[in-house]
Amino acid sequence: MKKKVIIAVGIIAALVVGFFIISNLLGGSKETKSADVAAKEDYGIEYFEVPDIEQVYINGVVQPDQMEAFAKDTKMTSTPEIKVKNGDIVEPETELFTYEDKEVTKEIENQNNNLSKQYTKKDNIYGKWNRAIDNFNKTKEEERTTTKAALDEQYQTEVDAADEEIIFINQTIADLSTKQFISTKAKFKGRVSIPEVKDENAPILRLTSEGLYVAGKVNEKDLMKIAVDQKATLSVVSNGTTVTGKISYIDDNPPEAQTNQNQSGGESGSAASMSSYNVKLSLDNLNGIKNGYHMQATINLGENKPIEIPTSAIKEQEGKKYVLVNDFGSVIRRDIQVGEAVGDKTIVQSGLESADRIIISSKKEVKEGDLVEANTEETGEPVPAG
C-alpha cells in the first residue's frame, strides 16, 4: 500500500512539472511572435516609382573659375607690404602688395646726397660770383684785369654746369623710383584670402574668383554618351544640397600622367584598360555651394521627359522642398527643386534619381531614418510611375 502511494505521488509531480514546461514553451513562443510583430512596423505605405532611365554619374570637386596664389619672391630681402585685407573683393588692376627693392632705395639715397652736394656747389658758385663782382667794383678801372661781362660769363658757365648735373641726378632719381617698389595687381575680380600662419611655404595671399564650377571625370565607357550643354543635376555629397547645371567642357584627351601610367602598366585589372577624361560642369546657382565641396552630377540620357510626382508626396522644411524615399528598406530624404503644378501632380526639375521609390502616404507616420519593407510595400505592390 505504501509503495502504491509513492508511485501515485511521483506521477502527480511529473504531471505538474510537465504542465509548467509546456505552459512556458507556449508563452515564450507568443512573446517571441509579439516581438517580431513589433519589430516589423505595419506602415501601410503607398509609393510612386520614378521611371527607370539610363543615367551617367560624374563625381567631382567644386573649384573657382580662376585662382592665383602669390608666392614670396626669394630674390627680395624685404617683406612685402600687403595693400588689401582678408576677405576683400577686389577689381582687376587693384594693387595687392608691393616689394621694396633695398638696393634701389640705397641708390636713391646716394643720388639724393649727390643732389644736395650739387645744390651746395651751386650756392657756392653764386657766393663766389657775388664776391667777384664786389671786388671788381672796388678795383680801380685802370687796375682791372678783366671785364664784368667776362666775369659774368665765367660764373654763369659754372652755374649752368651745376644745373645740368642737378637735372641729370633728378632724372636718375625719378627712374630709380619706378623700380624702388615692385607692385603686384589683380588680374581678375576675386576675393582676397590671406593665410593666418606665415610659414616659409605659405603664399603672401590668394585671389579666388567668385564664380565656381565642378571639375569631374568620366570614364571612356560613358564619354560618348555625354555632350557639352547637356543638363545635369548636381548634389553635394556631404549635405545633399541639390542644384542644376550643365556640362560646359569635355576634354578629348585623358590626362598625360594617366596615359603614361597605363602604358607602363602602373595599374592592374580592368582599371588599367579604362581611361578617364576631365569634364567641367557649370552651376545655375551657388546657393549652399562652397569651394572644395565634393559633388555628384547625374546626367539623364535619352528622352528628357520631366518627372511628375503626386503633389501630396512633397514636404517642406525651412524653405526647402523634399520627398521621403524608400532606399532599400531605409527611409531617406531627397531635397528637390520643383516646377509648375499640373493638376494633382508637380514637375520635379532636379533631386530625384532613376527608380526612386517615393513615399506618397502611409497609415502610420513615416520619418527619415525609419526602417520599412525593402522590396514591396506593406499594403501591396509598388505603385508604377503614372
Give residue-wise pLDDT tens across range 159-192. 999 999 999 999 999 999 999 999 999 999 999 9
Q: Same domain, yes or no, for 72 and 203?
A: yes
Question: Does the structure show a pLDDT above 50 at 37?
Answer: no
C-alpha 85/C-alpha 92 separation (Å) is 16
Sheet containing 89-90: which strands, arranged edge to edge?
Answer: 67-70, 205-208, 190-193, 89-90
Based on the domain organization, do 149 and 278 belong to the same domain?
no
Residue 1 lies in a domain: no
pTM of the model: 0.55
On whether residue 2 sits in a domain, the answer given is no
Question: How does residue 32 score in pLDDT terms, banded at 50, 70 and 90?
Answer: very low
Same domain for 56 and 88, yes or no, is no
**82: in domain:** yes
Place 1 in a pLDDT band, splitting at 50, 70 and 90: very low
What pLDDT score was predicted for residue 339?
A: 87
Q: What is the signed CA dihedral for 309, 315, 317, 319, rounded to 10 degrees?
A: 40
Domain end position, chosen among 175, 210, 245: 210
Counted domains in the chain:
2
Answer yes or no: do 217 and 356 share one domain. yes
132 and 181 belong to one structural domain: yes
Q: From 191, 210, 229, give the residue that closes a domain.
A: 210
- C-alpha distances out from residue 239 to 58, 148, 185, 296, Å: 17, 96, 37, 12
* pLDDT value of residue 318: 86
What mean pLDDT, rounded, does the chain reach?
83
**CATH code of the domain covering residue 326:** 2.40.30.170
Q: What's the pLDDT score for residue 249? A: 96
Helix (H, G, I), strand (E, B) or coil at 25: helix
Length, in residues, of the chain = 386
Is pLDDT above 90 for 17? no
The residue segments making up the domain with residue 219 are: 47-64+211-361
Residues 106 and 153 occupy one common structural domain? yes
57: left (phi over 0), alpha (psi -120 to 50) or beta: beta
- Strand-pairing partners, residue 321, are 316
In a domain, 246, yes or no: yes
Characterize the bridge pairing of strands 205-208 and 67-70.
antiparallel
Shared domain check, 345 and 235: yes
Give kind and range of the element (H or E) at residue 242: strand 242-250
The yes-or-no verdict on residue 284 having pLDDT over 80 is yes
**For residue 59, is it within any domain?**
yes
Question: 149 in a domain, yes or no?
Answer: yes
Say if 236 falls within a structural domain. Answer: yes
